[in-house]
Amino acid sequence: MATCVTHKKCYLSKEIAEDVLIEAQTTYDYAAGSGPVAVYLCDDCGYYHLTSRGPMNEKLSQYLADGKIQRQKEANRWLDKFKRK
């Protein structure tokens, strides 16, 4: 895994970073106005990172608008319930 002077996780492509961004939104319960909302190409390392600043990523915005994030969160909650039994 590549390292960066920012100490952020590095992702090889924008597509991979977007997938991780969406997975983070479905996995964690971020408070309003917190958590990652976009990806960017780092000038220091040349890889992509997640960020909580700037405009929301288009793919994430579309998934939120379509209800896909909420549906996946609910599916994750049920999976967690089944795992505990």
What confidence tens digit (pLDDT) does each residue in 35-61 have?
999 999 999 999 999 999 999 999 999
Name 3's Cβ contacts closer than 8 Å, sequence gap at least 6: 10, 45
Longest alpha-carbon distance in the chain: 47
Q: Pick the more confident residue, 79 or 44.
A: 44
Give the number of other Cβ atoms within 10 Å of residue 47's Cβ.
Answer: 19
Structure confidence by residue, pLDDT tens digits, 13-31: 999 999 999 999 999 888 8
pLDDT band at 85 (very low <50, low <70, confident <90, very high): low
Report the alpha-carbon distance of residue 73 to residue 53 in Å, rounded: 23
How is the chain split into domains, by residue range?
A: 14-84
pLDDT at 9: 95
pLDDT at 81: 81
Report the alpha-carbon distance of residue 55 to residue 83 in Å, rounded: 36
